Structure 1
Amino acid sequence: MRIIYIHQYFKTPAEGGAVRSYHLAKGLVDAGHEVEMITAGSNSGYDQRWIEGIKVHYLPVRYEQKFGFFRRVWAFLSYVRQAKKLIKKLPRPDLLYVTSTPLTTGLLGLWAKRRMAIPYIFEVRDLWPQAPIEVGAIKNPIVKRSLESLEKKIYQRAMSLVALSPGIADHLRKVTPSQKIHLIPNFSDLDRFFPMEKSERLLQKYQLTDALTIAYTGALGQVNAVNELLDLAEKAQDKGKSWQFLIMGQGSHEPQLRQLAIQKSLSNVHFIPFGSKEKVNEVLSLADFAWISFAHLPVLKTNSPNKFFDALAAGKPILVNHKGWVYDLVKTHQLGISCLPSKIDSAFAKLEELENTPGKLIKMGVNSRLLAEKYFTKELAISRLTHAINPKSITQNSTDEKDIMTA
């Protein structure tokens, strides 16, 4: 099958960030499919590269998280416009695999189906427009209704939909009850991430001690609530704890977080430059807990964050700040503890207890790795995707959705 894969923010492991599309596209190539990726690049002109058998087209569309609303919209629409021109020039595909965000990528699916009779599958990574509406980025009622109408049209006209979490799948069923839905969560790269003991060399490299360490590795944006990790760091410092807090990432709120750490005189917080997946695994190897956080908005409870699955593969106990699917997995499988804002004192007490009972920490880490191996390998995700792109797939939901939802 010849597939054009639409992802505006395609990344490789060497670049760091969300690499789901890299692994899925590579898996499709390994399965015998021909895959061309259309993405956005930072160069001033068009570029094309072969990456692991994937023909990747880079369109000159600059985008940064710090962009304001209108500049973001301009980048989204510019990508759609240029992608249309490119698709017209390429050999006709059998299928478009379109992934959000942003929701505007779905315009390419609608256009290709209407103008070229090419079917498309739409992958829903985050709930748009619900997320920007709840964050407050979209306030105009006319714009809200227009985007909700577009969302429904994109879902209804797709050959099928791919959801990244049970909460997203539930939302899709409400919007399009008769649509075929496949649940393919983010996944753990068990080859690139793996349990490692704290290395004296790495401790020296990052100027750390062997004390209890909590690490965050991910985006530093408005919705990531990393400021709550600083609240925990402040409490630990006030209590005279030798605990260490590592923040590795980049995003629009990085300057504010750095400034907040300075204002609070948090000598126990260490900011580490954003890096490749290998660098992330290196940082996680020094951590006793992986911090998983989001702002406390209903829509964010449905998220399937890459950093969570990286931490599972690395065999790390989880410290989660919000309720949702990740929270349920942590509780059900004893992967770690919660640190809800209203219960920071009880979370702190549990951390003190675990600091003195390393056996319990080891068990939580083992549980994390076992969960990744059983339910969230990239091989399972690729298998689910090959099922999803099969036109003969007529079941409403993917065959192993029940296992994922009850994992």
Structure 2
Amino acid sequence: MRVIYIHQYFLTPHEGGATRSYYLAKGMVDHGIGVEMITAHNKPFYDLKIIDGIKVHYLPIKYEQEYGFFKRVWSFFAFLNAAKTWIKKLPRPDYLYITSTPLTTGLIGLWAKRKFALPYLFEVRDLWPDAPIQVGAIKNPILKKFLYALEKRVYHHALKVIALSPGIADNIRKKCPDCELQIVPNFADSEVFQPKEKSPAILKKYGLKNALTITYAGAIGLVNAVDEILDLAKAAQDQALEFQFVVMGKGSHLPDLLKKAKSLELKNFIHIPFGSKNKVAEILSASDIAFISFDHLPVLKTNSPNKFFDALASGKAIMVNHKGWVHDLVKSYHLGFYYNPKKPMEALNKLENLSKNPKKLREMQQNARKLSENYFTKERAIKQILHILNPGNFAPVSNDGVYILTA
């Protein structure tokens, strides 16, 4: 079997960031499937690399998280056109495996199906166009109508649609009731991310204290609401509580975050630059609680964020600021607690109780690792994808009810 895998933002564990496509593609290769990855990089030339058996075609399409709306759209369509050119050059595959965002990658599938009768699987990481519309990036009613029609068409013509959360799946079912839909949630590398005792060397390396530590590790963009951790840090500082708050990452809203931290005169806040998966694992090993946050929009409650699954595998308690699928898991499996950003003192009291009750904190952390091992490993996700690609050779993987939890 041969698969052309299309992901504009393909990353390896060494690079850091979202590495789902790397692990799924490597899993395919390890089971005898030939995989050619079409992606992009910010260099001004085409490049081909063989990474753990994956043939990765790097197209010279620049993209930065700091881009505004129109520069992003330009990048999306430039990648669309370049990817179509490379599909024509490569040997015919059995399937295209296309991951979004952006939704424009779905146009590649529609084109390939019409021109070459190539079947495509479409993986939905985030709901487009719901997300940019709810954020306010897209306001034109004609454009909204066009994008919703495109979304429905992409789902309808896909051989199978793969959703990363129950909330995403529910939304797709409303738009395409007849779609063949599978849920394959995000996951963590349980070898890289493991429960560990705090290391004095790691604490010293990052300038951290051996105190109750709440950490956010991920993108710092428009929809991430990372600044809400600063309000909690300010409340803790005002109460003279020896907690520390860490943010690791980069993004368009990082300057605003650092400006706010400075204006609040926070002494218990540390920013650490974006790093590889191993550096994220180090920071989590020095932490007690992971902060999982998104802006308070309905569409964002459906998300399946990498940072959450990395935190589970690392055995960290979870503090979540929105009541979506992640919150349902946190509540049902006793992983942590909800942080209402309008009532920071409530969350601060919960943190104080956990600092005085290490046994309860440890139970939450153990529950997190157990949930990760039982349901959210890369091995489990790979088995699910292999069954979707070739159900005759690979047995289905039971969900045991965990994915039924909805936003």
TM-score of the superposed pair, with normalisation by structure 2: 0.97
Higher mean C-alpha displacement, 259-268 vs 97-106? 259-268
Q: Name the counterpart of 1:375.
A: 375
- Per-residue deviation, 1:342: 2.9
Number of aligned residue pairs: 405
Other structure's SS at 2:367 match: helix
Report the alpha carbon displacement of residue 343 of structure 1 after superposing the two structures with TM.
Answer: 3.2
- The one-letter amino acid paired with 1:270 is I
State how far apart, in whole Å, the 1-side matches of 2:392 and 2:208 are.
Answer: 55
User: Secondary structure at 1:342's aligned position in 2?
Assistant: coil
- 8 A Cα contact 2:235 2:344, kept in partner: no
- Is 1:145–2:145 an aligned residue pair? yes
Deviations along 1:236-290, one digit per CA (max 9) or x if unpaired, are 1111112111110010001110111111111111010110000000000111100
Q: CA deviation at 1:208?
A: 1.8
Distance 1:398 1:223 in 2: 33
Matching residue of 1:307: 307
Instruction: Tell me the residue number matched to 2:89.
Output: 89
Look up the match of 1:23.
23
Q: Is the 8 A contact 2:65 2:252 kept in 1?
A: yes
Residue 400 of structure 1 aligns with an amino acid whose one-letter code is N
Aligned residue for 1:163? Answer: 163
Cα distance per residue 1:294-326 (max 9 Å; x no partner): 000000000000000000000000011110000
For 1:10, the aligned partner's letter is F
CA-CA distance at 1:399 after TM superposition: 5.3
Q: Which residue is equivalent to 1:8? A: 8
Tell me whether 290-299 or 64-73 shows the greater mean CA deviation: 64-73
Aligned to 1:110: 110
Distance 1:339 1:299 in 2: 19
Counterpart of 1:43, as a letter, is K
- Looking at structure 2, the residues matched to 310 and 334 of structure 1 have their Cα atoms a distance apart, in angstroms, of 17
Q: Give the match's secondary structure for 2:266.
A: coil
User: 2 CA distance for matches of 1:369 and 1:143?
Assistant: 44
Inter-partner Cα distance in structure 1 for 2:363 and 2:391: 43
Bigger Cα displacement from structure 2, 267-276 vs 343-352? 343-352
Name the SS for the 1:365 alignment partner. helix
Letter in 2 for 1:263: S
CA drift of 1:398 comes to 7.6
Give the Cα–Cα distance (whole angstroms) in 1 for the partners of residues 352 and 307 of structure 2. Answer: 24
| Aligned-pair CA distance for 1:29 | 0.4
The code of the aligned residue for 1:167 comes to: G
CA contact (8 A) 1:4 1:93 kept: yes
Q: 1:203 to 1:178 in 2, by over 3 A?
A: same
* AA at the equivalent of 1:241: L
CA distance in 1, matches of 2:164, 2:190: 19
Match of 2:399 in 1: 400
Taking every aligned residue pair, what percent have the same amino acid on both sides? 59
Q: Deviations for 1:64-101, whole angstroms, at most 9, x for unmatched residues?
A: 11111111100000000001111101001110000000
Where 1:65 maps in the other structure, the secondary structure is coil
Task: Identify the residue that residue 193 of structure 1 maps to in structure 2.
Answer: 193
Give the distance between the partners of 2:72 and 2:391, measured in 1 at CA.
Answer: 35
Residue 261 of structure 1 corresponds to: 261
Partner of 1:220: 220
Give a deviation string over 1:94-153, Cα, whole Å, max 9, x none. 100000000000010000000011000000000000000000000010110110000000
Matches within 5 A, 1:332-371: 332-371=332-371
Amino acid at match of 1:172: I
The equivalent residue for 2:54 is 54
Q: 2: distance between equivalents of 1:207 and 1:67?
A: 32
Identify if the C-alpha distance between structure 1 residues 269 and 217 changes in structure 2 by more than 3 Å, giving closer, same or farther: same
Q: Which consecutive unaligned segments of at least 5 residues does structure 2 have?
A: none
Q: What amino acid is aligned across from residue 202 of structure 1 in structure 2?
A: I
Q: TM-score, structure 1 length as denominator?
A: 0.97
1:126 corresponds to which letter in structure 2? D
| CA distance in structure 2 between the aligned counterparts of 1:406 and 1:74, rounded to whole angstroms | 37
Separation of aligned partners in 2, 1:5 and 1:205: 38
Question: Which residue identity is paired with 1:11?
Answer: L
In 1: Cα distance, 2:100 partner to 2:330 partner: 26
Indicate if the aligned counterparts of 1:39 and 1:59 stay in contact, CA closer than 8 A: yes
**Segments of 4+ moved more than 6 angstroms:** none
Q: Does 1:135 align with 2:140?
A: no
Shift of 1:406: 4.7
Q: Tell me, yes or no, if the aligned pair for 2:334 and 2:364 is still in contact at 8 Å.
A: yes
Query: Could you tell me how far 1:188 is from its partner in structure 2?
Result: 1.9
Bigger drift between 154-163 and 238-247 goes to 238-247
Unpaired runs of 5+ in structure 1?
A: none
Number of the residue aligned with 1:78: 78
- Render the CA deviation track for 1:347-385: whole Å, top value 9, x for unaligned: 111111111111111111000000000011111100110
